[in-house]
Structure 1
Amino acid sequence: MNNAENPMADVATGGHVLVLDERITGQEQLIAGMLGKQISAGGAVIVLGASIEEPMLATLLNACHLAGREADLLVVNPAKPATSHTYNPVLHSSPASIASQVMNFIANQDDSGETSDGGTARLLEAIIACLQLGNIPYSFLDLGMFVMKPDAIAALGEFIGQAHPGSEALRAFDAALQPFRDAEGNISPSLLKAKYSGLAGSMCMLGTGRLGEIFNSYKPDLVLHDAIASSKVIYLAAPYIGRGAAASNLRRIVIANLADAVGRLAESDPAPKVPALALFTDAGGCNDPCVERLLAAESEGVLRVWISSPSLDDLGRESIDLREVCLSRARSLVFFRPNTEATAQLYLKFLNQDGAPGTGALVERMLALSSTQYVAVTDGSQVQWGDARAPQLETQRSAVVLPRPERFFHEPLTGADQFTQTVPV
């Protein structure tokens, strides 16, 4: 068994990785070692989960301390706004991406799907496009107010008409408003309410209370494309909101923002010496079509994605499509000790695809692995055996203590609040 430096922890090479561990122990140690090496190499890190896990946060804090990078750490934690950095996931993504993602809040509330038709999404997209064209910052709360307040929509149209007459955004805005005008040509409150009441309620929920303290910002601490470009270390909790399919809507918006950030960097900037590392700590957190964009081979020069899951069955329960995307696009598959011989036989299909002899010995070897030992296959053929036990860090912190970030307080009426009369943080 190879107990030397972890072969999976080479930060300069490699691509997307799927890690499977039914016991979790080895997976946690492998990830901790990988994060430590990524941070010591000066690379960017994005950890995305449903909540902040203290051991993971301690790993990031210790690694940043050892590398002298404490100032690079950004923690977005809606559960503890006082020690959280601010983050506005709808501020810098493309209008089409934002509109399609936030429209899920309507689609999940109406099984008929009638409220999520193209016309409904087009108005939201047109509003966002006008805000971005006018360089007007906005938040979840503003989006909820716009779709329910004809006066705010009209005022935005007038503003863009004066500042950018004849623009494509203004033409799209006028066209998208047509289904929401009454017989006299005025914007109809009843038509807006019939289409957007569910969305308005959801956006207001995300823009007020504890969530609002994090997301309702016109100048957030965390801007993903800037943070990746400047090699920040980010721990971002995107909690499940509500129940059922709607519970992961916030996560979808965050993933879309990350995918847009990577796309922007891939198109405009030279590839970083050390690609950023994105870690999804639970399978449910990456069950979104935008993950397929993140797992594209073209993104590996900017961002490598690690997805952790207890098993292929568990990944399939979240989404069959997600499992297939991970298996087809991950450069490396990492298997820790399987619980059963049947699982070992399943892993064998990926380790020995050509049907070579000795399969029984491979199964026995997998079943004999310790809780921290693993076998990995890269590019469908290169098999490595290793141990995830990481060397002890030079400095350990017994408790996680985060400072209270300085808040940026906005001058009133400096963004979309001039139309919506909201109060940004």
Structure 2
Amino acid sequence: MTIRSARKDLQEQKREKLDRQRKMTLSGALLGSAIPFMPAPMVIAMGLAAAYITLGINTQAKEIDKPLVWDSQFEEAELTDCDLRRSTYFGQVMPYQEWKDNIEEVRNQKGRVTADDVRKTLNDVYPQMMPFMLTDDQMTRHVALLAATGTGKTELLLSIIQQQIRKGAGLILVEAKSDSDFAGSIYAMMKEANRLDQFKLINFEYPEQSHTYNPVYSGGVRATLSTLMKIQANSSEEFWTDIARYTLTAATLVLKLQPGSPAFNIKDMIALLSDFDLLRAYTKRIRPEESKYHREGMDWLYSYLRNWWKNDEEGWNYNQYKTLTQGLISKLSSFAHSEYSSIVNTYAPDVDLKESILNNEVVVLSMSSLADKDGVELFGKLFISDLARAVGEIQLEKSKPLAMNPAIFDEYPSFMDESQVQLFQLARSANVPIIIAFQGVGFLENISPAFVEMVLGNCWHHLYCDVRDSKTREFAVKLAGSVITKMESTAEGSSTGNSHASDEAGLVANQNDGESATVSTKSQREEMIQPEDFSTLDQGDGILVGKSGTYRIRMPLVRNKFPNVQFGDMQLVRRRPKGRSGIYAWDEFTKKNKQLFERT
């Protein structure tokens, strides 16, 4: 698709209109002069009138072509063809059937094919390979990258990221290795592009070098509840899941309906879940007269609080409340201290995912699953749930960015969740393609086989590197499909016979010659990809299975000259965020705890 200027289109329409007027004027003058017995003065007058009108038309045409001056220092330049800016380069490819023909030719010559033969063949055919570009529209159908460690996965992701940065577009990266080389390269790319003001880093290993982010800052009650319910996602007990949803709904409603709609954070949520009296106190501050939603919310909260009233003792059941909320509190408490607390408990976060998508920001969430596996899993789910909220709001507002803004999930199984399938289904409408990178199908099956089908089924393009597990190879073979192979064999034979006799027989010699040839053909259906094909893939090699076919691909191995800036050496740009006034429920809760501690 070529991007054109609306003003240029209007100029072209005006130019065509003036051209038609010029032709009609000249034609009228010529036809008038050709009329028999037309007086000479009349012919001269018509010629002068045509010349005058044509001169005016030419003046208007010059005005149209004059560049538009927006400012004394800037002039509008011609808009170049933007096809390449609307595509993403993945590497050089050759149709897989053509690649197999080249390998089969080597097999026919040598009788067998070794790994060195495959490498030599790849080098020989590389000049014949074509650039493989995915348009933005194709990218929004999502991409799955299945690759073992050291096969070129990170280099390909860096290539995609570098293209986004140079286009002036944004992206969101979630990675679970806290890889300073990965994030450092992105930082250096942004610095080279003079875009450090659009670079946002969330890093729990170096909280002092991290931007702040509050997963419950934006969104309505349902979106916030959906985000917070991720802490109960792995529970197999339906009872505790229902209790969690019921209690979180109440606490979220209380915080959301406060006068002036102040901001709150996870600590404030913990305070209300830990102190039943504090929950009641904040419920009383809600003003039902503010809106219909405040009135309906209060009615629901009355019914919720009624469940904790003990009729026989005429009092509140504090002990049961503490017992049933203790599980939620314990899971949320990891965000109330240590590195997490300073980043997520803020009323003025540096990162808002919706604004980041719309403003072409590059957001990197870097976590270490080795240091805190459970924390990475939980926070990754919270982050992606908030991303789904942002995508949903962009979809409803019809405000998607002009350039695509990919969400890249590296080591995806570290924070995957079954509810994320909906994000794959809806992200396209917000111009947010999803790229998931992981080591094999078996990791996704930890949730369910159906999850594998739903996630990978929503990805139009799959790129397989040197994957070692048999399940992933079988999945790729099945996905690529089969082809009909025609084999032809030829058999040729010849015979010669001689006979001799005596002189008495009168026959001296007899010679017989014979030739025969047989050609047989056989057609059979076979899989396009064979499982053993993966063993011949070196670093940077892959098999691409997409809507347009199956290809042998040579991926770009990015060896950039950018320095790998360590987390501690990054100079992040910090701007004072807008923010909102806060609730400070945690401060009230802490004050009550201190008073209780001092009394005892």
TM-score, normalised by the number of residues in structure 2: 0.62
Look up the SS of the partner of 1:234 in the other structure.
strand
Aligned to 2:255: 131
Aligned to 1:144: 270
Aligned to 2:565: 399
Looking at structure 2, the residues matched to 83 and 161 of structure 1 have their Cα atoms a distance apart, in angstroms, of 40
Q: 4-13 vs 272-281, which deviates more?
A: 4-13
The one-letter code matched in structure 1 to 2:452 is R
Choose which of 439, 443, 449 in structure 2 pairs with 1:314: 443
1:164 aligns with 2:290: yes
Evaluate the alpha carbon distance shift between residue 186 and residue 255 of structure 1 in structure 2; reply closer, same or farther with a 3 A threshold. Answer: farther
Aligned to 2:457: 328
1:95 aligns with 2:221: yes
The one-letter code matched in structure 2 to 1:383 is T
The one-letter code matched in structure 2 to 1:90 is V
Evaluate the alpha carbon distance shift between residue 319 and residue 285 of structure 1 in structure 2; reply closer, same or farther with a 3 A threshold. Answer: farther
The one-letter code matched in structure 1 to 2:545 is V
1:304 aligns with 2:472: no
Contact 1:337 1:366 in 2 (8 A): yes
1:181 aligns with 2:309: yes
Give deviations 1:228-267, integer Å, cap 9, x for gaps.
1111111113555999988722222222111111111111
Between structure 1 and structure 2, the one with the greater Rg is 2
Looking at structure 1, the residues matched to 565 and 269 of structure 2 have their Cα atoms a distance apart, in angstroms, of 39
The one-letter code matched in structure 1 to 2:416 is N
Look up the SS of the partner of 1:299 in the other structure.
helix
Looking at structure 2, the residues matched to 95 and 239 of structure 1 have their Cα atoms a distance apart, in angstroms, of 30
For residues 255-404 of structure 1, the aligned pairs below 5 Å read 255-296=384-425, 299=428, 301-317=430-446, 319-339=448-468, 344=473, 346-351=475-480, 353-357=481-485, 359=526, 362-363=529-530, 366-379=534-547, 381-390=548-557, 392-393=559-560, 395-400=561-566, 401-403=569-571
Q: 83-92 vs 178-187, which deviates more?
A: 178-187
Look up the SS of the partner of 1:75 in the other structure.
strand
Give deviations 1:159-188, integer Å, cap 9, x for gaps.
213663652222222222221233377554
TM-score, normalised by the number of residues in structure 1: 0.85
Aligned to 1:206: 335
Q: Which has the higher contact order (CA 8 A, sep 6+)?
A: 1
Looking at structure 2, the residues matched to 5 and 33 of structure 1 have their Cα atoms a distance apart, in angstroms, of 17
Count of aligned residue pairs for this structure pair: 417
Look up the SS of the partner of 1:43 in the other structure.
coil
Evaluate the alpha carbon distance shift between residue 97 and residue 377 of structure 1 in structure 2; reply closer, same or farther with a 3 A threshold. Answer: same
Looking at structure 2, the residues matched to 61 and 382 of structure 1 have their Cα atoms a distance apart, in angstroms, of 36
Looking at structure 2, the residues matched to 308 and 195 of structure 1 have their Cα atoms a distance apart, in angstroms, of 38
Aligned to 1:117: 242
Evaluate the alpha carbon distance shift between residue 418 and residue 146 of structure 1 in structure 2; reply closer, same or farther with a 3 A threshold. Answer: closer
Evaluate the alpha carbon distance shift between residue 103 and residue 193 of structure 1 in structure 2; reply closer, same or farther with a 3 A threshold. Answer: farther
Give deviations 1:300-346, integer Å, cap 9, x for gaps.
54211111111223332464343222221111111123448886554
Unaligned runs of 5+ residues in structure 2 are 1-91, 94-125, 486-524, 591-600
Evaluate the alpha carbon distance shift between residue 313 and residue 148 of structure 1 in structure 2; reply closer, same or farther with a 3 A threshold. Answer: closer
Looking at structure 2, the residues matched to 337 and 247 of structure 1 have their Cα atoms a distance apart, in angstroms, of 27
Contact 2:212 2:349 in 1 (8 A): yes
Give deviations 1:53-101, integer Å, cap 9, x for gaps.
1222023113313332111111101111100111111222443344355
C-alpha displacement of 1:51 = 4.1
Looking at structure 2, the residues matched to 343 and 152 of structure 1 have their Cα atoms a distance apart, in angstroms, of 52
Unaligned runs of 5+ residues in structure 1 are none
C-alpha displacement of 1:366 = 5.0
Greater strand fraction, Structure 1 or Structure 2? 2
Evaluate the alpha carbon distance shift between residue 6 and residue 63 of structure 1 in structure 2; reply closer, same or farther with a 3 A threshold. Answer: farther
For residues 2-13 of structure 1, the aligned pairs below 5 Å read 2=93, 7=132, 10-11=135-136, 13=138
Q: 219-228 vs 10-19, which deviates more?
A: 10-19
Look up the SS of the partner of 2:406 in the other structure.
strand
Contact 2:151 2:465 in 1 (8 A): no
Aligned to 2:194: 68
Percent identity between the two aligned chains: 18
Choose which of 194, 197, 200 in structure 1 pairs with 2:323: 194
Look up the SS of the partner of 2:435 in the other structure.
strand
